[in-house]
Amino acid sequence: MLRLVPLSEAHVEPVHALYSDWEVARRLLHIAIPFTRADALAFCTAHVADTQQHRFAATLEGDGAFVGVGMVRDLVRELGFASIGYSVLRRLWGKGYATRIAGELVGFACGELGAGEVRAGVRPDNAASIRVLAKLGFARIEAGGEVDYFALAAPPTQV
């Protein structure tokens, strides 16, 4: 099982390792290259009020091993939706972790933030991330540039 915990200073080293990996970083939209330890510290300790982002470490239940990072950007009040982003350690690619992380992020966005829609931006050459979003029911809403955008309507709430 996977769990999301808020990023903290305790996650600086694994986050630095994750985003220092060129094969991971080149697929992302908003990570500085090179990604320094100072960048990792700032990333892990940033406040939601400053970034509008809820940032999580994805860890395995039991041993707490670091798997990756998930983020939800809260744009609900301004634009009516939240956006998600996720990254997984390269050695763990292809094991379903990205799909699980993204699914948890959607649940957080719709549940905790009350988002009526969740969006994600993906580089068009990132076929694996596009497959993750398709598995979760996202539909492409914009394509043709450096980023393709996808959206998923929140499930109706139970009364």
In a domain, 122, yes or no: yes
In a domain, 28, yes or no: yes
Average pLDDT of the segment spanning 33-52: 91
Average pLDDT, the chain: 92
In a domain, 159, yes or no: no
In a domain, 158, yes or no: no
Residue-wise pLDDT tens digits, 43-80: 999 999 888 999 999 999 989 999 999 999 999 989 98
| Cβ atoms 20, 56 nearer than 8 A | no
In a domain, 63, yes or no: yes
65 three-class SS: coil
In a domain, 148, yes or no: yes
Residue-wise pLDDT tens digits, 83-96: 999 999 999 999 99
Domain total for the chain? 1
Containing structural domain, residue 122: 2-153
Q: What is the CATH number of the domain that holds 62?
A: 3.40.630.30
In a domain, 40, yes or no: yes
Nearest to 132 by CA among 101, 110, 158, 154: 101
- In sequence order, what are the residues at sequence separation of 6 or more whose Cβ sits closer than 8 angstroms to the Cβ of residue 119? 81, 82, 83, 84, 141, 149, 150, 151, 152
Helices 127-135 and 97-111: crossing angle in degrees, nearest 10, is 50
pTM (2 d.p.): 0.93
pLDDT of residue 159: 46
